[in-house]
Amino acid sequence: MNSDSFLKERCFIDGAWVANAGETIKVTNPASGEVLGAAPKFGRAETRRAIDAAYEAFPDWRARSAEERGGFCMKIHDALMDHQAALGELLTREMGKPLAEAKGEVAYAAAFFKWFAEEVRRVYGDVIPSPWADKRIIVTKEPVGVVGSITPWNFPTAMIARKAAAALAAGCPIICKPASQTPFSALAYGVIAEMVDLPKGLLNVITGSASEIAGEFCENPKLRKITFTGSTPVGKGLASNALKYMKRISMELGGNAPFIVFDDADLDRAVDGAIASKYRNSGQTCVCANRVYVQSGVYDAFAEKLTAKARDLKVGDGLENGVEQGPLIDAAAVAKVEEHIADATAKGARVLTGGKPHALGGTFFEPTVLRDVNADMLIASDETFGPVAPLFKFDTEEEVIALANDTEFGLASYFYTNDLGRAWRVMEALEYGMVAVNEGILSTPVAPFGGVKESGQGREGSRYGLEDYLNVKFGLIGGLR
Ligand code: SIN
């Protein structure tokens, strides 16, 4: 099968492909401007239909053994891996990331299905020592029920996987609403569901109006949980609406990741980590290094090495061999990057490489390094979501911890040191849900991904990610003597 075999211009509801006669969402390849197709613009009525189907499917699914549910997740894993090349190509065509990264994302997505297929067999309860001789107390875990998921364009395959895999393994049917820029990688899950004979109603994919679909998720009593990955402002609005109806929520929101390089760090390792963290997906991840703090003793050397590597990154259409940085998702993304650079340079920052749209045109942007950046610049407080590494200088550990924590966000953070004492101290002092020491990439299905402060609530991946789809039930059995 090639990437076109996975490109569906209909939604997947209750195990069937549903077309619409009305409005559609046009999808274009950000590298070439080629129109790939159009997805339905559905609203409340179709969302209700998907929720009804999921609700119908729930009793049978939750009653199946963990092994059986996990078995389906394993089949989804295998199907994703069998079609990794085609799905990767589809992802690159609609989102722009280099093919190697796109195929890596498909493998990352598949790994969530494998992880939860295995982990669901270890959903243990408790027996609590009873204060009464004639009564026993037990605690069991039950699936929360029908889940509504809303996912972004930057990881259109993997962000669905870490929600859908946990939901399905736990016993919950799911309705997935992808971003309008990248509906096809999401709709491809319908093809995968058909391939593995997943019972109908368990995995539904609906494209369309975010406000109508999210509104129905919040207000429909048959839906019990909303999981969202996206920006903090949108997440806050969604969470407050969902909590009006007491829905369970998981919110994976914005970040403003500090990337700290101490004088005692292995500098080459830190440069490689910064390249990986900053330029992965052209800087369009919520865990990308957003502020690079470098201690004064190594500032110039680090700036020079980073600049040399950033300058060498090959920019182009993600489908071309050897390309390391694709286009940005759209013109608004380019405008934000330009705004951050203009603000920083107007306030004294210097461009070491890049700094402007790429000669390739469209939404391609040059990998950029800025030096002499300080806390008064917009880039210090706002997530750039683009390929710009701003270098801040610091002198002491206390100073950089205060700077790193001076943000409402608390998702990912990174630092480089060869001092074991400092590694522990700084890891404990950083107010972040995730801290990587001497590594620039930390994502894996086996560890809990998520933030503190305004970066969200809940965790994805790991055993904690499964807990987010389970309710705790207390059972009391009396009259035993
Ligand atoms: C994200 O940017 O939302 C996710 C990145 C990751 O899983 O590494």
Nearest atom within ligand 1 for CA of residue 229: 3
pLDDT at 87: 98
E-assigned strand segments in 296-355: 350-353
Q: How many Å lie between the centroid of ligand 1 and the Cα of residue 283? A: 11
Which residues are catalytic, by number? Answer: 252, 286
What is the 134 CA–ligand 1 centroid distance (Å)?
A: 50
Task: Give residue 255's pLDDT.
Answer: 97
Q: Name, in order, each residue with C-beta under 8 angstroms of 326's C-beta and a sequence gap of 6 or more.
A: 30, 31, 92, 95, 96, 97, 98, 282, 315, 316, 317, 318, 364
The residue whose CA is least distant from atom 3 of ligand 1 is 286
Residue among 480, 241, 282 nearest 386 (CA): 282
Burial 320-346 (b: 16+ CB within 10 A, else e): eeebbbbbbbeeebbebbbebbeebbe
* Residue 459: both structure tokens together: 């965790």
287 C-alpha to center of ligand 1: Å? 6
Ligand 1, atom nearest to 152 Cα: 3
Place of tokens 């364009």: 153
pLDDT at 21 over 90: no
Q: The tokens of 362 are what?
A: 């469209």
* Pocket lined around ligand 1, Cβ cut-off 6 Å: 154-155, 229, 285-287, 443
Closest CA to 160 of 114, 203, 223, 209: 203
How far, in Å, from the CA of 442 to the mean position of ligand 1? 10
Q: Per-residue pLDDT tens for 185-215?
A: 999 999 999 999 999 999 999 999 999 999 9
Q: Is residue 461 over pLDDT 90? A: yes
| 33-45 pLDDT per residue, tens | 999 999 999 999 9
Distance 1 CA to ligand 1 centre (A): 28
Other CB atoms within 10 A of residue 127 CB: 10
Looking at residue 42, its pLDDT comes to 97
* Number of the ligand 1 atom closest to the C-alpha atom of 286: 2
Gap between the Cα atoms of 417 and 259, Å rounded: 11
- Residue 63: φ, ψ to 5°: -80, -15
Q: Using CA positions, which residue lies closest to atom 6 of ligand 1?
A: 443
Helix (H, G, I), strand (E, B) or coil at 127: strand
Ligand 1 atom at shortest distance from the alpha carbon of 441: 8
**Ligand 1 centroid – CA 132 distance (Å):** 48
Which residue out of 278, 279, 286, 385 has the highest number of ligand 1 atoms within 8 Å of its CB and is therefore the one to mutate? Answer: 286
70-87 pLDDT, tens digit each: 999 999 999 999 999 999
pLDDT digits (tens, 9 = 90+) for 309-331: 999 999 999 999 999 999 999 99
Supply the pTM of this predicted model. 0.97
Contacts from 393-402 at CB under 8 Å and sequence distance 24+? 393/293, 393/294, 393/295, 393/296, 393/299, 394/260, 394/293, 394/294, 394/295, 394/296, 395/295, 395/296, 397/262, 397/422, 397/425, 397/426, 400/258, 400/260, 400/293, 400/295, 401/426, 401/429, 401/430
Residue 347: pLDDT band by 50, 70, 90 thresholds? very high
10 Å CB burial of residue 67 (0-12, 13-18, 19+) is exposed
At residue 345, the pLDDT reads 98
Average pLDDT, the chain: 98
Instruction: Report which secondary-structure segment, H or E, holds 53.
Output: helix 44-63
Instruction: Specify the ligand 1 atom closest to the Cα of 449.
Output: 7
Residue 397 parent element (H or E) = helix 397-405
